[in-house]
């Protein structure tokens, strides 16, 4: 249960690579305490509190009855071993041994697979502050943005660390928007954008594959790669339909090439547009008057 919660937390879109170490250490601490005491409300605690085990021992056989909430789970008879030769051997393994074995495996797995030593050089970008040393900035530059000038990166960082809206703030998209407005901080802006883009999980990739399988089916086998790419981009990056403002998209569509702008003089005057365009409504009224006049004339004739 604890490990499952940890998996959901690190697969969140808001989780950064800096958060993995803290979350990992927190889970390891909880696991370490579970070696001495049970997880309250966990399966082991529930089974122990709701299971009644009775032992019946005699010279011929040992019988163990296990009852869970009034229901008998099993009736185990142990007579396969001689007590004289196996007096220190038991067929029953305690919960504590199983629990400690599982916890040690999880602990070793997390320490091995979630090794954060390679990310420690990026710590200056977690919170932009003036106390960061030049050596730390140099190591950070070599890892995240070696394609930019070192002096430009260090200078941009020190200037940004004195900004009232940036200093001592945890990096986020809001901080990135502030940095984008300053063209001279390009190296720092790109570095933070790269850190925000790095995800400590593969949930985004798995989500992309899932969307691809929904779009590209056997009935849509002739979809071009360009169409699939555009569909996936819209699905993953664009806002929902209720939040989408088509104004910019319409302007881009109109400017992309010369559009047909011919105005049809009589297009809005058709009878079936009555109630939509005033020209059509006026014509419909005139047509009805003319038809009434013609019918009256025919009757008199």
Per-residue pLDDT of the chain (301 residues; tens, 9 = 90+): 787 888 888 878 778 888 888 888 888 888 888 877 777 777 777 777 776 655 555 555 556 666 666 666 655 555 555 555 555 555 556 667 777 888 888 888 888 888 877 778 888 888 888 888 989 999 999 988 899 999 999 999 999 988 888 888 888 888 888 999 888 899 999 999 988 888 877 778 888 899 999 998 888 888 899 999 999 998 888 888 888 888 888 888 888 888 777 666 666 667 666 666 666 666 555 454 444 554 555 444 4
> Assign residue 102 a region: left if phi > 0, alpha if psi is -120 to 50, beta otherwise?
alpha
Nearest CA to 78 out of 56, 104, 54 is that of 56
Domain positions in the chain are 1-78+86-114, 119-197, 202-252
Backbone angles phi, psi at 255, to 5 degrees: -85, -15
Beta-ladder partners of 64: 55, 76
> Assign residue 275 a region: left if phi > 0, alpha if psi is -120 to 50, beta otherwise?
left
SS3 257: coil
């Amino acid at each position: 249960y604890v490990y499952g919660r940890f998996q959901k937390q690190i697969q969140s879109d808001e989780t950064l690579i800096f958060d993995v170490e803290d979350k990992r250490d927190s889970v390891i601490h909880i696991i370490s305490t579970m070696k001495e005491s049970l997880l309250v409300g966990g399966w082991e605690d529930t089974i122990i509190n709701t299971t009644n085990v009775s032992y019946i021992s005699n010279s011929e056989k040992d019988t163990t009855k296990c009852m869970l909430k009034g229901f008998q789970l099993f009736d185990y008879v142990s007579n396969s071993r001689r007590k004289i030769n196996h007096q220190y051997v038991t067929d029953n393994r305690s919960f504590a041994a199983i629990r400690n074995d599982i916890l040690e495996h999880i602990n070793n797995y997390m320490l091995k697979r979630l090794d954060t030593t390679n990310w420690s050089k990026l710590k200056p970008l977690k919170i932009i502050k003036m106390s960061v040393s030049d050596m730390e900035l140099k190591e950070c530059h070599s890892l995240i943005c070696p394609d930019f000038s070192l002096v430009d990166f260090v200078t941009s960082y020190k200037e940004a660390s004195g900004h009232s809206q940036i200093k001592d703030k945890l990096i986020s998209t809001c901080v990135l928007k502030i940095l984008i407005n300053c063209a001279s901080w390009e190296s720092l802006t790109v570095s933070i954008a790269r850190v925000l883009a790095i995800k400590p999980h593969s949930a985004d990739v798995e989500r992309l594959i899932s969307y691809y399988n929904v779009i590209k089916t056997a009935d849509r086998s002739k979809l071009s790669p360009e169409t699939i790419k555009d569909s996936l981009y819209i699905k993953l990056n664009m806002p929902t339909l209720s939040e989408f403002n088509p104004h910019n998209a319409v302007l881009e569509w109109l400017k992309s090439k010369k559009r047909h702008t011919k105005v049809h003089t009589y297009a809005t005057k058709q009878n079936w547009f009555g109630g939509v365009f005033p020209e059509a409504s006026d014509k419909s009224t005139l047509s009805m008057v003319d038809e009434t006049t013609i019918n009256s004339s025919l009757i008199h004739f």
